[in-house]
Amino acid sequence: AKRKLQHIADRRAVTPDGKALRLEANISSMKELEIALSSGANGVGLFRTEFLYMDRNRFPREEEQYEVYRSVAERLGGDPLVIRTLDIGGDKQLDYFELPEEDNPFLGYRAIRISLDRKDLFKTQLRAILRASAFGEVKLMYPLISSIEEVRAANAILDEAKRELDREGIPYNPNMKVGIMIEVPAAVMIADLLAQEVDFFSIGTNDLVQFTLAVDRMNEEISHLYDPFHPALLRMLVQTTAAAKKSGITISVCGEMAGDLRALPIWLSLDVDELSMSAHSILHVKQRLLDTRQEQCRALLEQLKTCRTSGEIVQRLEDFSASSI
């Protein structure tokens, strides 16, 4: 199937009525970067840095991280590279870093919470990312943000890292963009406030679905309840994008839903700027994008907003794609 679509790999991702959408890849290693590039990715919208920490028996040093971040940035040429700071805890563990036993690890000591608690580890990563920013279009992203305080505390450590690099005469991009994942319902509810503190949002639908519906994303017993098309989700997406637009910041989506063909009309109707997905989805999404009109998606959204169940939402989305093919 991929070979059949290869001819559109170099085509610009734009709808017939002129809405351009940047299609990017989620990666967690150099190997995945090469697959992403051969799949026509226009950048990396989510670099999951966990592998750098999981692949060894101690925390990676600044230099080791810097080498990797810089190689990816350079390999991408001028295309964007969004580096997400460490997102361990929950389902992701490190052998050499003992995390507390928790009854609810997904609601526990993880992601930005660990980074703000272990400032030493966090600053090492921020220095490595800053240094790599001198070699490409690097952006920084914090995971699992749920309050303004967290953003400010993280940015304060970022400022410290910058001042250190200044003193040491080490170059970095002083205007590196800083954004957050929107993956906790609290962040959606205060999206208007958060939008005033950052340069971009990236909606992490994997966790946002989990937390909005109170459905553990790893639990197969209840996987039928894990529903990205639940009307509550649609409202969250509408609210988040509206807040981003109002503040004029970039809005992206990087959860699995970004690569779901059924969801494409939603992203177009909300006028999202970037979609970041598994490499294997990129060409499929691009093919659909090339013959979907944004104008029609906008009309569809008005209908979706009136739906009372996810069944109705999915039905309308399926009818829409059947009629536009």
Question: What residues act catalytically?
Answer: 254
Site residues (CB under 6 A) for ligand PEP, limited to 168-197: 183
Q: Is 183 annotated as a binding residue?
A: yes
- Among 40, 60, 179, 204, the residue binding ligand PEP under the rule CB under 6 A is 204
By CB under 5 A, the residues from 170 to 199 that bind Mg ion are 183
d(CA 85, CA 71): 17
| E strand spans, the chain | 22-27, 44-48, 80-84, 137-142, 177-182, 200-203, 250-253, 274-277
| Closest residue by beta carbon to Mg ion | 207
Output the furthest CA–CA distance in the chain (Å, rounded): 61
What DSSP assignment string belongs to 267-308?
A: HHHTT-SEEEE-HHHHHHHHHHHHT--HHHHHHHHHHHHH--
206 annotated ligand binder: yes
Q: Is 113 annotated as a binding residue?
A: no
Residue of 43, 60, 255, 265 interacting with ligand PEP (CB under 6 A): 255
Which of the ranges 129-137, 200-208, 223-231, 266-274 carries the binding residues for ligand PEP, by CB under 6 A? 200-208
Q: How far is CA 230 from CA 42, 62, 206, 237, in A?
A: 30, 42, 13, 11
How many Å apart are CA 223 and CA 164, to the nearest integer? 47
43, interface contact from Mg ion, ligand PEP, none, CB < 5-8 Å by kind:
none
204 part of the interface to Mg ion, by CB under 5 A: yes
Considering the complex, state which of residue 37 and residue 254 has its C-beta at the smaller distance from Mg ion.
Answer: 254
> At 215, is the secondary structure helix, strand, or coil?
coil
Report DSSP state, residue 60.
Answer: P
Q: Does 24 bind ligand PEP (CB under 6 A)?
A: no
Q: Please pick, from the candidates 24, 87, 150, 273, the single residue that binds ligand PEP as defined by CB under 6 A.
A: 87
Report which DSSP code applies to 252: E
Beta carbon of residue 319, minimum distance to ligand PEP (angstroms, whole number): 27
207 belongs to an annotated ligand binding site? yes
In angstroms, give the least distance from the CB of 27 to Mg ion: 15
User: Which of 31, 15, 317, 209 shows the shortest CA–CA distance to 23?
Assistant: 15
What's the closest the beta carbon of residue 245 comes to ligand PEP, in angstroms? 21
Other CB atoms within a 10 A radius of the CB of residue 145 amount to: 26
Examine residue 205 and tell whether it contacts ligand PEP (CB under 6 A). yes
Instruction: For residue 259, state whether it binds ligand PEP (rule: CB under 6 A).
Output: no
Closest CA to 228 of 213, 240, 249: 213
The nearer residue to ligand PEP, 48 or 139, going by C-beta atoms, is: 48
- Tell whether the torsion through CA atoms of 94, 177, 128 and 26 is positive or negative: positive
Say whether residue 136 binds ligand PEP (CB under 6 A). Answer: no
* Best CA proximity match to 292, nearest among 5, 16, 9, 10: 16
- The two tokens of residue 180 are 């957050």
The single residue among 112, 254, 272, 297 that binds ligand PEP, judged by CB under 6 A, is 254
**CA–CA separation, 315 and 30 (whole Å):** 39
Residues that bind Mg ion (CB under 5 A): 183, 204, 207
Which residues does the annotation place in the binding site for phosphoenolpyruvate? 48, 84, 206-207, 217
Residues that bind ligand PEP (CB under 6 A): 46, 48, 87, 183, 204-207, 254-255
Which residues does the annotation place in the binding site for Mg(2+)? 183, 207
Which residues does the annotation place in the binding site? 48, 84, 183, 206-207, 217
